[in-house]
Amino acid sequence: MNEKSLFKSAILTLVIVVTVVLSFEIYLRSKGVVIDYDDGAPLWSDKRAMVYEPSDKAIVFIGSSRIKYDLDQATWNSLTAYHPIQLAIEGSCPRPILEDLANDPNFKGKLVIDVTEGLFFSMAPPNLETAIERIKYFHDRTPAQRVSFELNRVLESQFVFLNKDYFSLNAQLDGLGIQSRPGVFMMPYFPRNFSMVTFGRQHYMTDAFVANTAEINQVKSNWVFFAKMARSGPPTPPQAYEAIFKSVKENINKIKARGGEVVFVRTPSSGDYYKGETMGFPRDKFWERLLKETACQGIHFMDYPAMDHFDCPEFSHLKLSDAVLFTKSFFNELSKQKGFTDLQSNNPKTN
């Protein structure tokens, strides 16, 4: 084959690839798919690098998925000039992130810790692995990985088909609903409209999800599945909880010793899910003790009329319209806490 033929073949291949890609993009757009971002280690690390912003410019959030759904960043930014740095990880225990921040002598800022008891007090390796892996990725990032992230963020902001969590081949296979079998575990599938992600790492469920009873029930069944998995494992011995309280206290003391401020928050859950959580983790033995052991302030959603009535569509996370209301009420209470009162005075509307 001569050079002219090779050139024509290359051009034809390029045209075919571009046509297929653009056709897929147009098809997804016609189905109402909108831009969202892969919430993996690169995006998490991008936010982790922001914790060194001055303490009067930023506030860090860690926890599990609820604070990612319930804290509406647009609403937050309308209330204060403090930039929200979202480091929570869905389905994950936040204690490794707390330890990482505590052992970082350059972190001296404001920290809000969201508590989902079943994850916060978990010792199960699967609930710790993701946070540990992302922390390692952040500290070991290479220049090439940083450049790759910057390129990807530009592309992801323009093309919806790049969402690997839903449109890659593996994701498409996961969506078929193949059941687990002996020796092969299939992770429960979450509908795409339940888990949209912004570049700021805010999760939100779409209005289409909220209106779709079948998808809501699917997510509810996923929570039941994970609850059964947790109950099937060995019970956590009392001494393990003692070790957790001790380590959390030590890590928070390190942050406070550098001038940092820490507040706990218990974000809303509802229905049978909340009843199960209160039975498994009685408030006096876990939430109240956590505040006492760490000498920290805490905001529990059930203590405030403006927050205690939310009905989570799938029992565990707020829909976007309720997240807006929750964020306003949460901000109002947070800005009354010691070390956080300047949130109110730093309102962008008054500056």
- How far apart, in Å, are the Cα atoms of 302 and each of 158, 166, 176, 270, 291? 41, 35, 39, 11, 16
Flag whether 303 is in a domain. Answer: yes
Beta bridge partners of 204: 196
Q: Tens of pLDDT along 194-251?
A: 989 999 999 999 999 999 999 999 999 998 888 777 666 667 888 899 999 999 999 9
| Whole-number pLDDT of residue 185 | 47
Domain that holds residue 296: 41-140+191-338
CATH of the domain at 283: 3.40.50.1110
Flag whether 301 is in a domain. Answer: yes
Find the largest Cα–Cα distance for the chain. 80
Flag whether 202 is in a domain. Answer: yes
For the chain, the domain total comes to: 1
Q: CA 37, CA 157: separation in Å to the nearest integer?
A: 8
Flag whether 153 is in a domain. Answer: no
Mean pLDDT of the chain: 87
Ranges of beta strands (E only) in 95-223 are 110-114, 196-197, 203-204
Flag whether 186 is in a domain. Answer: no
Q: Tens of pLDDT along 270-311?
A: 999 999 999 999 999 999 999 999 999 999 999 999 999 999
Flag whether 179 is in a domain. Answer: no
Instruction: Please say whether the beta carbons of 146 and 119 come within 8 A.
Output: no
| Whole-number pLDDT of residue 283 | 96
Q: Please determine, for residue 184, whether its predicted confidence score (pLDDT) is greater than 50.
A: no
Give just the sign of the alpha carbon dihedral 52, 129, 94, 295: negative
Q: Please determine, for residue 45, whether its predicted confidence score (pLDDT) is greater than 90.
A: yes
Flag whether 314 is in a domain. Answer: yes
Q: CA 269, CA 311: separation in Å to the nearest integer?
A: 7
